[in-house]
Amino acid sequence: MRELFYPNTVAVIGVSSSNTNIGLTFDFQGIIYEVGPKGGVLAGRRIYKSVLDIPDHVDLAVILTPAATVPDILEECGQKGIRWAIVESAGFREYGEEGKKIEDEIVRVAKKWNLRFVGPNCIGLVNMENGLCCPFTPLNRAIRLGDISMISQSGGVGISIMNLMANEGLGLNKFASVGNMLNIEIEELLSYFIEDPGTKYILLYLEGIRDGRRLMEVARKSPKPVLAFKANIGQYGKSIASSHTASLSSNDRVVDAAFRQVGIVRVDDATTLGNNLKILHLQPMLGKNLAIIARSGGHAVIAADACEMSGLNLAAFPKDFLDEIEKHFRASVIKLTNPLDLGDLFDLDIYAKIIETTLAQKEVDGIIFLHTSISPIETQATRDLFKRVIELSKKQDKPVAIYISTDDQEISYLKRSHNYPVFTQVVETVRALELNRRYHAEKKIVQQPQEIPSFKVDKKHIKPILEKARSEKRDPLLHEAVEVLKLYGIPIAEGVPVKDKDEAIEAAKKLGFPVAMKIISEQISHKSDVGGVQLNLRSEKGVADAHDDMIKRILQAYPDKNIDGMLIQSMVTGGRELIIGGRQDEQFGPVVMIGLGGIFVEILGEISLRVAPISRRDALDMIHELRGSAIFEGARGTKPSDIEAVVDVLLRLSQLLCEFPEVKELDINPLRVFHQKKGCIALDARIILDKEV
């Protein structure tokens, strides 16, 4: 992949002698050959009619010609011995079936010659280290060399992010616009950037994810921060993306979970993106204890509120530390605490000394410094203070996030002059520093090896159940789904499938009253919605009446539904309800879910997800992410629930979904969880099969 970004010779195919040709270099030191079908001369340089006419070896071909011409051009590149290309042309599958045929042809030609290419439908590559810059659109020359590399599925968004970086004083190292990704995909470029010495931070702009598991595998190994701006999350965005980059879309909750599992920092807007890129350049914040130093008491209050909302703590300052600071005040009119209000101080050199002393405190993990440059008289003093703060932060290896209030021109100067973040909104400064802390804490955990448990399962008895259902073009019936769970060691309420009323009565007598009765029908998924569940039946008459009533009501309301029987189950009372389930995601494969149970899961939408297989730590994290998890942990003196039993169910379900990909969806709703060490039990199950697997 290095040859792609560091070519010695480049052929640009699709130029003419017209003066409308674009500039293609940022002082590129290699050799450039122009190629165009009409030949001619451009700026005193020969335009070759074909790459085959170029007398020297060519490392990289940049193709800017109409889509229909690309297969023949790639054929010539292959004959010439060119092994790398960038196809910037549009007009492929994003424009319909004819374009798809051209795509198929260029894939065939590239495979024939073992030629790797970026695109098509992209704006190409930029390498600020060697001046390689081949987008067909002129770029902002204010972009400077830095340590951030970007991969973007949209050329336009990529350019706008580069402009944002230039405005924020952030430097670019490399940029790749990937377009339709027919040959070189995001994961390959990500792997290269992870190993690339010049790249310290990696940014992805994604509209679709084709191979989520591969993306996770690569990102998990990265010692460098990986940020992702994932768009195309709603129905409106999907219709645009399909014609714009012919991309695929993923369930957004799954994307969130997958990114968290491997330490990818997700951003949702340009402001957050800029702030996160800036804050991750600071030293790691290794704890939650924050010091706020402000020139304005009002700013200090706003920051303290944001600190509390972000889950950060205000560090406690020793009395002798505060007494030493107070000696510098002209009047003792401000009570010193954390936040430190320095409104009575006007000597900026003392500000630097206070920051130095604060950083040295063991109780302080990081600082928010809120500064206001009052008049032009302070401009140089502020610049000097800025330099001192940067030095102190590096020396103490603790982050100092700086907010500055001054005129736009001075802010722009500070951003351009230092490779150090400058913030202009108080709350965003605090949120960004919390991101710094959270990233380093979570990344450390993510990279710790986790054991994926494996349970012994009698698969030979499960396969016939699923194969029978698939052969009959249906999903497993209720009692079949229950049997699959039992074979995986998932505790489920004892039940007996029956065909008629007499069998129902006999089953109830065998199980012992009270019992529950549930409809069995391949056409009815949500049983309670159609009156297909009767609970707490305490006698033979109760069972008989419930059976007749259920059949009558369902057939009256849904005369076209087939009833395959009933499931008689022992009644289970007590405990708290969860829903546990999973599905096969198109991009990420098996996904496990947990949420608040019963009928409220679809109303409240309170769930947590992980891409399977999951570890015990993953399972615990899923439970603790639920906002209602305190209920299960023993809130307000109540007895805690058996969380370990829930963890066991999640792990077994994870294994089931990985081992049987034909299980498209699976729900256990509800899972009744009892007190600690008393276990849990599933009361109902639903399995939906992929009939095509």
* Residue indicated by tokens 């309420």: 493
Write the pLDDT tens digit of every residue in 452-472. 999 999 899 999 999 999 999
**Would you say residue 374 has pLDDT above 90?**
no
Give the pLDDT confidence score for residue 263 in this predicted structure: 94
Give the pLDDT confidence score for residue 529 in this predicted structure: 61
Give the pLDDT confidence score for residue 298 in this predicted structure: 93
Give the pLDDT confidence score for residue 322 in this predicted structure: 87
Peptide bond into 339 cis (omega under 30): yes
- Least confident range from 233-237, 271-275, 588-592: namely 233-237
- Tell me which H or E stretch contains 9: strand 9-13
Instruction: Give the orientation angle of helix 155-168 with respect to helix 270-279, to 10 degrees.
Output: 50
Q: 304 pLDDT band (50/70/90 cuts)? A: very high
CA–CA separation, 312 and 219 (whole Å) = 27
Q: 424 pLDDT band (50/70/90 cuts)? A: very high
Write the pLDDT tens digit of every residue in 559-577. 777 788 899 999 998 889 9
Q: What is the mean pLDDT of residues 441-453?
A: 89
> Greatest CA separation found in the chain?
101
Q: What is the mean pLDDT of residues 506-510?
A: 93
Write the pLDDT tens digit of every residue in 79-136. 999 999 999 998 888 778 888 999 999 999 999 999 999 999 999 999 999 999 888 7
Q: 176 pLDDT band (50/70/90 cuts)? A: very high
Write the pLDDT tens digit of every residue in 8-59. 999 999 987 654 444 455 678 899 999 998 888 877 788 999 999 999 999 9
In 418-474, which residue ranges form alpha helices assigned H by DSSP? 426-446, 459-471
- Tell me which H or E stretch contains 10: strand 9-13
Q: 525 pLDDT band (50/70/90 cuts)? A: low
Average pLDDT taken over every residue of the chain: 89
Q: What is the mean pLDDT of residues 617-639?
A: 86
| pTM summary value | 0.88
**Would you say residue 378 has pLDDT above 90?**
no
Which domains does the chain possess?
A: 1-121 (3.40.50.720), 140-268 (3.40.50.261), 282-446 (3.40.50.261), 450-493+572-693 (3.30.470.20), 494-570 (3.30.1490.20)
Output the six-digit token pair for 308.
């509390």
Give the pLDDT confidence score for residue 248 in this predicted structure: 32
Question: Is 603 in contact with 689 (CB distance < 8 Å)?
Answer: no
Percent of the chain with pLDDT over 70: 92
Neighbours of 65 (CB within 10 A): 18
CA-to-CA separations, 186 to 1, 31, 183, 625, in angstroms, rounded: 12, 28, 10, 30
Give the pLDDT confidence score for residue 247 in this predicted structure: 32
CA–CA separation, 526 and 519 (whole Å) = 10
Give the pLDDT confidence score for residue 290 in this predicted structure: 96
Question: Is 626 in contact with 579 (CB distance < 8 Å)?
Answer: no
Give the pLDDT confidence score for residue 661 in this predicted structure: 95
Q: 604 pLDDT band (50/70/90 cuts)? A: low
- End-to-end distance of the chain based on CA atoms, in angstroms? 35
Question: Is 84 in contact with 113 (CB distance < 8 Å)?
Answer: no
**Would you say residue 249 has pLDDT above 70?**
no
CA–CA separation, 519 and 498 (whole Å) = 10
Per the model's pLDDT, the better-predicted residue between 657 and 528 turns out to be 657
Q: Which residues pair with 33 in a beta bridge?
A: 11
Q: What is the mean pLDDT of residues 615-641?
A: 87
Give the pLDDT confidence score for residue 552 in this predicted structure: 87
Give the pLDDT confidence score for residue 485 in this predicted structure: 96
Per the model's pLDDT, the better-predicted residue between 209 and 236 turns out to be 209
Give the pLDDT confidence score for residue 268 in this predicted structure: 87
Question: Is 353 in contact with 386 (CB distance < 8 Å)?
Answer: no
Give the pLDDT confidence score for residue 308 in this predicted structure: 93
3-state DSSP assignment of residue 87: strand
Question: Is 164 in contact with 150 (CB distance < 8 Å)?
Answer: no
Question: Is 143 in contact with 117 (CB distance < 8 Å)?
Answer: no
Neighbours of 526 (CB within 10 A): 12
Q: What is the mean pLDDT of residues 356-380?
A: 91
Write the pLDDT tens digit of every residue in 384-420. 999 999 999 999 999 999 999 999 999 999 988 888 8
- Least confident range from 100-104, 233-237, 512-516, 576-580: namely 233-237
